[in-house]
């Protein structure tokens, strides 16, 4: 009994421990396999297994029969085991719910627990058909009859008897016993089903292995094993048939052989896995499944979360993590409040033909989604785009067979207008805001569904760095596609070509891959093309001689320059290179062709030639007599003239001669070293600099008075006048107040200012970045006249410049005044008359009057009305009529004596008004 308990415990632990793997295995049976699993199998083991398996021929047909049997059993299980059904779906988080039959296998495990699992897992790979020995770990299969409880004794084919504990599943087994009669002649009800099931299990495993083996053999040996093909193909077809119908109809191989399953994907495993994981993160919100169903794992997760937290906080500091780690972390990161992953959008990027779109489709399908695709062929105007996103993310088809949730795949998003991308972003973000408000009511799923994005979106682009994508880049889970491995691609190509009866050796396929830069689509298309031409035998010669498949693609400028300046390494096989690989023989011709092709396909002759010009002198080429340099420059001048003729005469047929410049440079300067190439800025810099100098000169010329203007042109200005003029306007000035200048100095100053005015030069105060004030000559002709390498000319001091600029302002005003006077001489006279008083008319006129009054009044000593008045001291008690005058008088005298005065207005208001100006107080 003790022993029994122990065993039981062990079993439990076992289940827990290998839950992951079981799951994975289950999945492998269902459809294909968990991504990580397959590649991890050691190749050698596999092969040996396969070999072993291949020895017994009859297996395969038998497998089919067995499979059918299981089908029956399954169906029966479904019928009877309704109460058990509720338990398992929680277990599996990878299988989608929409395909219920996938669950069946795991259920069968359940119903006949542990034993099957263990034996299947531990032993089947090696000896699937070996007679069953009582497994030691089993608690249900015992060698001795159990002490308590009911049991059944079982004798297996080799005659060993074991005792099986009977458990609650009695009813099931009775059912089974009814359907599966004792064909083997075994004991009791239980023995047979278990064995049958075991066998089924083994068969299924075996099938799996066989499938695998078939694939591997195909890969390893390019010729097909006919027996296998026969035995395997029917089944393969059976699997693929429904989906394949359309592919078969279309005549392009690309469609026909596009991967249908996760394992068939040729793209990088890591990328595939990352995308799958990311998509799986959505399961919680989309399918309502817990993300971590496994308690052990969730425990671990919980334990980890504490340690993760600081990590995530310090994410910014920890920038040096590898990209892989970063991606892993993103995938490990917690879900947000709505149980969505942190990044709502995955953005796949990479060159064409790597299978990005295929990957997105396959994975979405694999994860149980219904793929809705928007691509460049659709209208992507804002409204339509918005509508389509909403439709795809918030609705679900109710009719029809595929009642799966949608997964939106936006293909070729780099071509979409920025507005469309903004809409996508707003879908991601705006709804976040909504959600935050309604964050408390998490239970109300209905309401959330209207506002929050609850479906995964996968975007696909070729160029990740398109400006329009910039905002999206920050919010998306970025996956950059690496190049497809040529080996995998070749394998796949070999498969295809063998299926199509095209004989191709590995070398030929390899060179095809190289030619197309591992572009899967292009490879397959080329293959089909060659096949279509009736070619039955494919070797590298034909591949190289054929011009199809070589993409006329735009390589980067740096790539072009590098190719031009670098000799091809001898072991590197070039595409353009001809028919024999012998390095010495025709390499010149091949290089010529290659560079010519490269240059003409890049198209940007101007940029290319500028780059060549900027870089060729820094190449490490031994050229003591400068012969190569001279020749290169002759080529450059030739292409410049050619360009001129093309542009002026619009004689574009000459364009075809432009790429030969690159070829010439290649033969002159190519070197085995990797060249260091810098982007050609010099020409652009020079032209912008030239433009600014021209502008300075023309602004200077524009305002020079006509009499001088007629004597100077721009050319004479730059060549003769300017530098000397700048010397002339820098006289030696004593650093004193200009009022203290001697008459000669004053003359000099006047002359200087006249010159500067005549040539439209002036000083403008400017502030340097350091905060100092300087005076700079305006327009900035100093830059035009002065050269950097020469000894600096004498400069005026800051004070001198300040003085000059002030004097100039005054002189300008003076001249403007004179101009005005000249223009209307009538006004001049009046103005001169009124010039004095006009300045200070307001009060001084009155003052003068008052002063006059006093003088007048003091003389006759008679008041305003003719009466004699004694001068009184000013006082408030004076009578109203004479008081006025007294005040006036007093004011008059006061005003006569001082500049400050005020007047008190009686009667009208009690306000005191004083007109005091600051300038009078000074």
List residues binding other proteins (CB under 8 A).
Answer: 613, 617-618, 623, 625-627, 629-630, 633-634, 636-637, 640-641, 643-644, 647, 682-683, 686, 689-690, 693-694, 697, 702, 706-707, 709-711, 713-716, 718-725, 727-728, 730-732, 784-790
Decide whether 308 or 638 has the Cβ nearer to other proteins.
638
**DSSP-derived secondary structure for 160-207:** -EEEEE--TTHHHHHHHHHHS--TT--STTTHHHHHHHHHHHHHHHHH
Q: Which two tokens stand for residue 43?
A: 């190749």
Nearest residue (CB) to other proteins, 375 versus 643: 643
Minimum gap (Å) between residue 623 Cβ and other proteins: 7
Cα separation, 563 vs 595, whole angstroms: 7
Shorter beta-carbon distance to other proteins: residue 652 or 865: 652
What tokens does 816 get? 């403007």
Q: Rounded to an integer, what distance in angstroms lies between the CA atom of residue 28 and that of residue 826?
A: 109
Please tell me the distance from the alpha carbon of residue 884 to that of residue 886, in angstroms, as a whole number.
Answer: 5
CB distance 527 to 493 below 8 Å: yes
Which residues does residue 408 pair with via DSSP β-bridges, in sequence order? 372, 457
For other proteins, which is the closer residue by CB, 623 or 831?
623
DSSP string covering 553-622, please? ----HHHHHHHHHBPPPTTSPPSS--S---TTTSHHHHHHHHHHHHHHHH--HHHHHHHHHHHGGGS---
Exposed (0-12), middle (13-18) or buried (19+): which is 612, by Cβ within 10 Å? buried
Nearest approach in angstroms of CB 470 to other proteins is 35
CB of 740 to other proteins, least distance (A): 19
Q: Tell me the C-alpha to C-alpha distance, in Å, between residue 897 and each of 367, 901, 913.
A: 105, 10, 20
CB closer to other proteins out of 241 and 747:
747
What are the Cα distances from residue 592, in Å, to 583, 588, 665? 14, 6, 11
- The nearest distance, CB 797 to other proteins, in angstroms, is 16
**Identity of the residue, 20 or 685, whose beta carbon is nearer to other proteins in the bound complex:** 685
| CB closer to other proteins, 788 vs 909 | 788
| Cβ-based nearer residue to other proteins, 449 or 732 | 732
- Minimum distance from CB of 547 to other proteins (Å)? 35
Smallest gap from Cβ 709 to other proteins, in A, equals 6
User: Residue 650 and residue 12: Cα distance in Å, rounded?
Assistant: 85
> Toward other proteins, which CB reaches closer, 10 or 730?
730
Judged by beta carbon, residue 45 or residue 720, the one nearer other proteins is: 720
135 close to 115: Cβ distance less than 8 angstroms = yes
Q: What is the DSSP string of 20-88?
A: HHHHHHHHHHHSS--TTHHHHS-HHHHHHHHHHHHH-TTHHHHHHHHHHHHHHHHHHHHHH-HHHHTSG
Supply the minimum distance, in Å, between the C-beta of residue 625 and other proteins. Answer: 6
Using CA atoms of 29, 34, 40, 44 in order, give the dihedral in degrees to the nearest 10. Answer: 20
Q: How far is the CB of 596 from other proteins (least distance, A)?
A: 21
- Grouping H, G, I as helix, E, B as strand and the rest as coil, residue 494 is helix
* Angle in degrees, CA 309, 311, 316, rounded to 5: 125
Q: Least Å distance between CB 621 and other proteins?
A: 8
- For residue 635, the minimal CB distance to other proteins (Å) is 9
| Strands of 161-165's sheet in order across | 141-142, 161-165, 151-155
Query: Shortest gap between Cβ of 783 and other proteins (angstroms)?
Result: 8
Query: CB 620 → other proteins: shortest distance, Å?
Result: 10
Sign of CA dihedral 467, 470, 472, 477: positive
The β-bridge partners of 442 are: none
Tell whether the torsion through CA atoms of 715, 717, 720 and 726 is positive or negative: negative
Helix axes 605-615, 557-565, angle to 10 degrees: 50
Q: What is the dihedral of CA 520, 523, 528, 531, to 10 degrees?
A: -140
Q: How far is the CB of 701 from other proteins (least distance, A)?
A: 8
- Distance (Å, whole) CA 614 – CA 681: 8
Which class for 351: exposed (0-12), middle (13-18), buried (19 or more C-beta within 10 A)? Answer: middle
For residues 347 and 479, the answer to whether their CB atoms sit within 8 Å is: yes
Query: Shortest Cβ distance from residue 710 to other proteins (Å)?
Result: 5
Minimum CB distance to other proteins, residue 807 (Å): 17
Alpha helices in 759-797 (DSSP H): 782-785
């Amino acid at each position: 009994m003790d022993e029994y308990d122990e065993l039981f415990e062990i079993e439990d632990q076992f289940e827990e421990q290998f839950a992951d793997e079981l799951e994975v295995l289950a999945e492998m049976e269902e459809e294909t396999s968990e991504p990580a699993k397959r590649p991890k199998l050691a190749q050698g083991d596999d092969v040996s297994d396969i070999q072993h398996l291949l020895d017994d021929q009859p297996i395969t047909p038998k497998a089919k029969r067995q499979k059918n049997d299981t089908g029956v059993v399954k169906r029966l299980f479904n019928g009877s085991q309704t109460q058990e059904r509720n338990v398992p779906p929680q277990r599996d988080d990878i299988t989608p719910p929409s395909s219920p039959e996938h669950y069946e296998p795991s259920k069968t495990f359940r119903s006949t627990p542990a034993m099957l699992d263990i034996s299947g897992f531990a032993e089947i790979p090696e000896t699937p058909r070996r007679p069953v020995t009582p497994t030691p770990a089993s608690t249900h299969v015992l060698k001795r009859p159990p002490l308590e409880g009911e049991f059944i004794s079982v004798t297996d084919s080799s005659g060993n008897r074991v005792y099986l504990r009977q458990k609650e599943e009695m009813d099931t087994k009775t059912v089974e016993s009814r359907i599966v009669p004792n064909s083997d002649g075994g004991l009791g009800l239980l023995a047979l089903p278990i064995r049958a099931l075991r066998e089924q299990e083994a068969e299924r495993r075996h099938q799996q292995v066989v499938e695998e083996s078939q694939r591997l053999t195909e890969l390893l040996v390019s010729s097909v094993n006919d027996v296998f093909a026969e035995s395997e193909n029917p089944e393969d077809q059976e699997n693929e048939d429904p989906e394949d119908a359309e592919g078969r109809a279309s005549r392009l191989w690309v469609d026909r052989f596009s991967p249908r399953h996760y394992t068939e994907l040729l793209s990088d495993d890591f990328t595939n896995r990352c995308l799958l994981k990311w998509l799986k993160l959505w399961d919680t919100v989309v399918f309502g499944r817990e993300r971590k169903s496994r308690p052990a794992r969730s425990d671990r997760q919980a334990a980890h979360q504490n340690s993760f937290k600081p990590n995530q906080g310090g994410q910014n500091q920890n920038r040096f993590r590898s990209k892989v780690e970063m991606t892993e972390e993103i995938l490990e990161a917690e879900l947000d409040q709505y149980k969505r992953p942190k990044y709502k959008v995955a953005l796949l990027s990479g060159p064409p033909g790597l299978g990005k779109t295929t990957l997105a489709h396959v994975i979405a399908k694999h994860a149980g989604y219904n793929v809705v695709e928007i691509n460049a062929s659709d209208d992507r105007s804002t409204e339509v785009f918005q509508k389509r996103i909403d439709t795809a993310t918030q609705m679900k088809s109710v009719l029809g067979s595929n009642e799966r949730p949608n997964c939106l795949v936006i293909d070729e998003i780099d071509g979409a207008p920025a507005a469309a991308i903004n809409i996508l972003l707003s879908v991601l973000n705006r709804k976040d805001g909504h959600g935050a408000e309604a964050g408390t009511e998490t239970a109300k799923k209905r309401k959330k569904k209207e506002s929050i994005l609850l479906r995964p979106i996968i975007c696909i682009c070729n160029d990740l760095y398109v400006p329009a994508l910039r905002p999206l880049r920050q919010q998306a889970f970025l996956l950059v596609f690496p190049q497809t491995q040529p080996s995998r691609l070749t394998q796949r190509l070999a498969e295809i070509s063998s299926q199509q009866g095209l004989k191709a050796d590995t070398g030929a396929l390899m060179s095809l891959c190289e030619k197309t830069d591992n572009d899967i689509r292009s490879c397959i298309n080329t293959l089909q093309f060659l096949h279509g031409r009736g070619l039955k035998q494919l070797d590298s010669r034909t591949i190289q001689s054929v011009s199809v498949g070589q993409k006329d693609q735009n390589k980067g400028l740096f790539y072009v320059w590098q190719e031009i300046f670098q000799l091809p390494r001898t072991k590197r096989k070039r595409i353009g290179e001809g028919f024999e690989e012998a390095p010495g023989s025709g390499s010149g011709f091949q290089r010529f062709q290659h560079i010519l092709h490269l240059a003409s396909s890049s198209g940007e002759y101007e940029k290319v030639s500028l780059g060549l010009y900027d870089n060729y002198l820094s190449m490490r080429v031994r050229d003591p007599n400068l012969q190569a340099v001279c020749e290169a420059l002759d080529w450059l001048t030739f292409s410049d003239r050619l360009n001129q003729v093309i542009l002026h005469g619009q004689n574009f047929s000459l364009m075809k001669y432009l790429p030969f410049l690159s070829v010439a440079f290649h033969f002159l300067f190519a070197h085995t070293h990797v060249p260091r190439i810098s982007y050609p800025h010099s020409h652009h810099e020079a032209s912008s600099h030239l433009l600014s100098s021209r502008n300075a000169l023309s602004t200077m010329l524009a305002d020079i008075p006509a009499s001088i203007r007629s004597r100077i042109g721009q050319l004479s200005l730059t060549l003769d006048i300017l530098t000397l003029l700048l010397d002339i306007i820098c006289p030696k000035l004593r650093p004193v107040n200009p009022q203290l200048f001697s008459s000669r100095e004053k003359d000099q100053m006047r002359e200087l200012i006249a010159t500067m005015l005549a040539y439209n030069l002036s000083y403008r105060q400017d502030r340097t970045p350091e905060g100092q004030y300087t005076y700079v000559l305006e327009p900035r002709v100093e830059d035009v006249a002065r050269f950097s390498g020469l000894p600096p000319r004498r400069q005026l001091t800051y004070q001198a410049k300040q003085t000059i600029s002030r004097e100039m302002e005054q002189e300008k005003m003076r001249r403007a005044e004179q101009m005005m006077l000249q223009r209307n001489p009538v006004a001049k006279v009046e103005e001169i008359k009124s010039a004095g008083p006009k300045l200070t008319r307001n009060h001084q006129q009155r003052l003068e009057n008052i002063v006059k009054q006093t003088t007048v009044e003091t003389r006759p000593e008679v008041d305003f009305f003719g009466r004699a008045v004694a001068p009184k001291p000013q006082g408030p008690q004076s009578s109203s009529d004479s008081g006025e005058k007294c005040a006036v008088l007093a004011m008059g005298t006061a005003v006569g004596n001082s500049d400050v005065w005020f007047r008190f207005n009686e009667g009208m208001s009690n306000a005191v008004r004083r007109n005091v100006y600051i300038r009078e107080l000074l």
